Amino acid sequence: MESGSRKYLLNIRGTLRELQLPCVMGILNITPDSFYEASRVDEIEDVLSKCGQMLREGAAIIDIGAASTRPGAIYPGAKIELQRLQKVFPKLRKQFPDAIFSIDTWNAEVAERMIDMGADIINDISSGELDPHMLNVIVRSKVPYIIMHMRGQPENMQQFTDYINIVSEINTYFVEKIRELRLAGISDIIIDPGFGFSKTIEQNYELLGRLNEFLLHGVPVLVGLSRKSMISKSLGCSTEETLCGTTAANTIALMNGASLLRVHDAKAAVDAIAIFKNIQYPL
């Protein structure tokens, strides 16, 4: 199979927008406690600058998070999450009117408010499990929906890593979840196996090696490997030293069928995709 661009249409604010897959989703953290300290931005000018940089480097989507989901993180509440987002998002939307913005939230109230303000995609780590009202928000708004596999919630998820066959169990989860979403009328769906979310380091690498088994669902597969502890602990280095390891992991993900790379460092991921597209690789 030729590993060139694959076209994918997304309903973005009522207009079909074409993405060339694989592509990059750039991470824009506006939290004080995200696991990668260098990715945190708060001041408006810094947020605008970081966003502009990632777009210039080739990011197709910008994913904005205002509540950390690192292991052990405590949810700050919808009020604080919204305050952080409302402080920066209107300015981002105004300065980058053609950009595609995703909001990284599991809270339905936050999702609805941000969609009303011009957000394009909702990226929900819980697939609606943590807030049962999320499904109704997605149905009403018709925005693309990214669903991720996780057990528990960030503050306790690492207690739930007892799988018998991790890939089979996650695939069963996605079969059931996608059926539920399709029946509700949601058509734009992207899946994320949830690297680092209720998984051990060994399980993360098993998922990476078997990523092509998630292609059976017929929807794009997003991977979030960027600078995670599965890389730093394997290399025995700090989070700040994991760019090369992240690029290696992302390249393996591309070779196994990943459609979107969610990353802190857009240029490195864009370059990895460019090199990947130069080869013929059977998925």
d(CA 153, CA 130): 8
Query: Active-site residue among 40, 142, 262, 277?
Result: 262
Q: All domains of the chain, ordered by start, with CATH?
A: 6-276 (3.20.20.20)
Read off the tokens for 16.
Answer: 């079909």
Reduce the DSSP state of residue 94 to 3 states and report it.
helix
Reduce the DSSP state of residue 121 to 3 states and report it.
strand
d(CA 219, CA 237): 35
- Phi/psi at 31 (5° precision): -120, 155
Instruction: Quickly count: other Cβ atoms within 10 Å of residue 181's Cβ.
Output: 21
Provide the pLDDT for residue 281.
57
- Where do we find the tokens 């993360």? 204
100-104 and 121-124: which strand pairing?
Answer: parallel
Catalytic annotation on 50? no
Provide the pLDDT for residue 40.
53
Task: Name which of 143, 123, 107, 122 is nearest 224 in CA terms.
Answer: 123
Provide the pLDDT for residue 3.
44
* pLDDT in single tens digits along all 283 residues of the chain: 344 568 899 999 889 999 999 999 999 998 775 554 554 566 788 899 999 999 999 999 999 999 887 777 788 889 999 999 999 999 999 999 999 999 999 999 999 999 999 999 999 999 999 999 999 999 999 999 999 999 988 878 888 899 999 999 999 999 999 999 999 999 999 999 999 999 999 999 999 999 999 999 999 999 999 999 999 999 999 999 999 999 999 999 999 999 999 999 999 999 999 999 998 655 5
Reduce the DSSP state of residue 221 to 3 states and report it.
strand
- What are the residues facing 39 on neighbouring strands? none
Query: Active-site residue among 228, 233, 267, 277?
Result: 228
pTM: 0.92
Reduce the DSSP state of residue 263 to 3 states and report it.
strand
Catalytic annotation on 56? no
- What are the residues facing 263 on neighbouring strands? 26
Provide the pLDDT for residue 280.
63
